[in-house]
Structures are given as structure tokens and as C-alpha cells.
Structure 1
Amino acid sequence: MKLKTLVLALGMTSGALMLSACGDKGQQASNEAAAPAEQAAAPATQAAEKQTATEAAQSASAAVGEKVEAAKQAVAEAMTPAIPAQPKPPADKGAEIYGQCVGCHGPTGGGGVGPKLSGQSKDTLASTLKDYKAGKQIGPQTAMMAPIAQGLSDEDIEAVANYIATNFK
């Protein structure tokens, strides 16, 4: 509110200065003869001066408002932490799911802690995962694989089995 009052006062002062600069004291004597006509026109002139001052104040207020908004935006941008670029997610749901398998089965399904998956058919892989999900004892890795398989939907199992069979031959 104080800013609007200041801008309005600034605009009115600017208007008054412009009006006083337009007058010439050397012509004051010749203007005295026209004083009655000017007095008759004074209310209209004053109304025009007020409108001009109001327009100037509004224009100044708008300019200040734009600068304030730009400053607010700059501060907000400076305060927002930079978010590092996120890795692009796999386009294939099976590839996304296989991301949790890499640690044990290797980046190409060649094995490691877990058995080799490469070269197995989609049906064999899906069947084994469904057995783990059902809680069947398959081998020494069942205790590790059962909770992982239980977290997968049937759609997820099909997707990861297809991904492995297609990409790791």
C-alpha cells in the first residue's frame, strides 16, 4: 500500500513539474488580459490535469509492478535448488524390472551370485518366477528369490521374462 501511495505521489509531482515547466513568467502580463476566459475554463483544465496525473501514476505503478514481479521471479528461481537431470527410464517395462536383477544375475543375464538366465526361454523364466511367487522350493536361492517374485504382478513377470529371453540369448 505504501508503494502505491509513493508511486501516486511521484506521478502527481511529475505532472505538476511538467505543468509548471510549460508556463513562462515573461508572458504573465499578456495572460492577465485573458484571465476571465481562463477562469471559466479552469474547472475543465483542472479535471484534465488530474486525469493526466492519474494516468501518469497508473503508468508508473504498472512499470514498478512489472519490475517487482520480475524481481520476485528472479528470487524464486535463485531459491529453487537445481534438480540434476534424471536418468531416462527404460522404454521397456521388462528392462526396468530387470534393473533389480542385475546385482545377482549380471548385466547380461550371465550369472554371478544367482544362476545364469541368458539362453532360457520366456516360458521357462516366467514359470520359474511364478513358482517362486507361489512359495515353491526350487533350489538354494528360493529364500532370496521368493520375496522378489512376490513383489511382481503376473504382467511384470511376463515383461521381465520376455526381456531376458529376447535380449540375453
Structure 2
Amino acid sequence: MSSTKKLTISAMVVALYIVVLYLTQSVSFGAYQIRIATSLYALAYAFPFLMVPMGVANLISNLLFGGLGPLDMFGGFMVGVITTGLIVLIRKYEMNTWWIVLPIIFVPALCVPLWLSYLLDLPYAMLVTNLVVGQTIPAILGATLIRVLSRRAAMAAVMGIR
């Protein structure tokens, strides 16, 4: 795939992440953080070059909608990169696409409370529990998205999936 196509796809996915987060912000920043936009992390399975763009999408979203400052922005960037990096490894090792669910749930659930517990003065364990619950829906949506896309011959060819 050409650099231009990769850049175009990256820009479209970052924009889509921000729009989805904007439309769902009422549930994305609550106690359970049901951040539907994180289901788009699954697209790194199809397009491994999305690792850094997904981190950038999270950073921009936390800047625009989060309101918790630089620590939350940088942390969100790192969570996006780490989560999508693990998804790329799932593809590399040809694991079942349902494994995508695990990083989408557990990377944010275990990492985000590291700074949220400090910023919000809340117990780490409570935040982890809430984020595991909240991230379950986006994780299932993300894995389902990849399964549906890979069943379409034209999309599977673009994604480079057999």
C-alpha cells in the first residue's frame, strides 16, 4: 500500500475516532467509560500502520473532550499505541480475531487508572473494575467489526487478509 493511501486511511480513522467520541461523549467519560470509539482500535488488525494514528486520535480526543490535561493526553496516546500494538501482534501470530477483545479491555482498564486515580483521587482498583466493565462493549464491537470486514472479499483484499 502506498504512503498516500496509508496517510489517507490514517486521517480518516483518526477523524472517525474523534467524531464517534464526540457523539458518544456522554458515556465515554462517565464512571464506566463506555468509549465506543475504542472499538476502532481493532482496525489495527487490518491496517497495522494505524498504531501511532490511534494514539494520536486518543490524544486529540482527550485534549478536546477530556479536560484532565497533559497527563491524560499523553497517557491516552500511550494506551492507544500499546493497545493497537498488541492487536497487530495478534494478527502477526495469526490468532483468532476474538483475541482482539483482550487488549481493548485490559490495556485501558489497567493503564488509565494509573493516572486517573492520581488526578481524580479515586482508588485504582475501583477504576480498574469500572473500566473493565465499560470497555467490554467496545471490545466486542471491535472484534465483530474485523470479523465482518474480513468476510467481504474486496475488504479482505484491501486489508491483506486471506
Higher relative contact order (CA 8 A, sep 6+): 2
Superposed pair shares fold, TM > 0.5? no
TM-score interval (norm. to shorter):
under 0.3
Structure with bigger helix share is 2
User: TM-score, structure 2 length as denominator?
Assistant: 0.24
The normalised TM-score by structure 1 is: 0.23
